[in-house]
Structure 1
Amino acid sequence: MAAATDDAVMDDWAAAMAEQAETDQSTASGNTASSAAGPGPEPVPAPLPELHERGGEVQNPSLDMILDIPVTVSVELGRTKIQIRNLLQLAQGSVVELERLAGEPMDVLVNGYLIAQGEVVLVNDKFGIRLTDIISPAERAKKLR
């Protein structure tokens, strides 16, 4: 019984190999340009949705679902390193010197990532920031490394 099963498997393999040889032969004698490109249909570029610019914003219907996600925007005045001993000695009225000079632009961070720099302005008795420089995506990627 095992010999009959082995013979049947060998016959299936022989038939498959013969069919493959016929296919290879017809491809080689038929169209050499399509055989050089490889088997299968020609690749078709995927359709990309059109982006429409409106008032400085890029509108894309597939982006609508993320437009309502809240992010934290913060403005960093400056930083410094201080020893715990000195930190514990701070009291009301103490002055902490920052590494940034007066007049330097402030960093604008979104979820902790630098995206722009700007200057502090006063609008209706509230602080605001006027953006003076937007960090390019390439520069942002460099800072992540």
Structure 2
Amino acid sequence: MEQVKENNGNASTGNEAHIQSIQFSQLNTFNSPDLKDEGKRNLDLILDIPVPVSVELGHTMMLVKDILSLAQGSIVELDKVAGAPVDLLIRGKLLAQGEVVVVDENFGLKITNICASEERIRNLG
């Protein structure tokens, strides 16, 4: 142990700090086969959890009086151009974009662009 006296240009007040070195153990990385297996087992635990997925065609702002006057056959204009990519959202966070397609009699999404993995992780938070 090494003793250091506090001295900011003043005479010592008698307060002494004790400083000692610390040795850290080697940090394990995911390059270890054991840790990779453990990570895979942990991931397997959550793979069957249902997560809300939605496809967003666009947005708009409407006055309350206009919303109240909506009726069957009314048209709501969105902020996206026809044919523009639509957003695929996971729990409300952007994951990918794609084109609307028809599968049998249902709408579907053909993914054309996926967010970078760092952005996906940040968005899923």
* SS of residue matched to 1:63: helix
The separation in 1 between residues aligned to 2:63 and 2:83, in whole angstroms, is 27
- CA distance change for structure 1 residues 101 and 137 in 2, over 3 Å: closer, same or farther? same
Which of 25, 31, 35 is equivalent to 1:43? Answer: 25
Offset, 1:69: 1.0
1:61 is matched with which residue?
Answer: 41
2:101 is matched with which residue?
Answer: 121
- CA distance change for structure 1 residues 64 and 89 in 2, over 3 Å: closer, same or farther? same
Residue 87 (structure 1) aligned with residue 73 (structure 2): no
- CA distance change for structure 1 residues 46 and 126 in 2, over 3 Å: closer, same or farther? same
1:112 is matched with which residue?
Answer: 92
Structure number with the bigger relative contact order (C-alpha 8 A, sep ≥ 6) is 2
Residue 99 (structure 1) aligned with residue 79 (structure 2): yes
Q: Output the TM-score relative to the length of structure 1.
A: 0.60
Greater Rg, structure 1 or structure 2?
1
Q: Output the TM-score relative to the length of structure 2.
A: 0.69
The separation in 2 between residues aligned to 1:87 and 1:73, in whole angstroms, is 26
The separation in 1 between residues aligned to 2:22 and 2:100, in whole angstroms, is 63
Offset, 1:72: 0.6
**Between the two proteins, what is the percent identity of the paired residues?**
45
Deviations, residues 79-102 of structure 1 (Å, cap 9, x unaligned): 100000111111110001101110
Q: Which amino acid aligns with 1:45?
A: L
Offset, 1:135: 1.1
Which is richer in helix? 1
RMSD (CA atoms): 2.8
Runs of at least 5 residues in structure 2 that lack an aligned partner in the other structure: 4-20
Runs of at least 5 residues in structure 1 that lack an aligned partner in the other structure: 1-19, 25-37, 52-58
Offset, 1:50: 2.5
* SS of residue matched to 1:62: helix
Which is richer in strand? 2
Count of aligned residue pairs for this structure pair? 102
Deviations, residues 39-84 of structure 1 (Å, cap 9, x unaligned): 44x5212253227xxxxxxx81221111111101100111100000
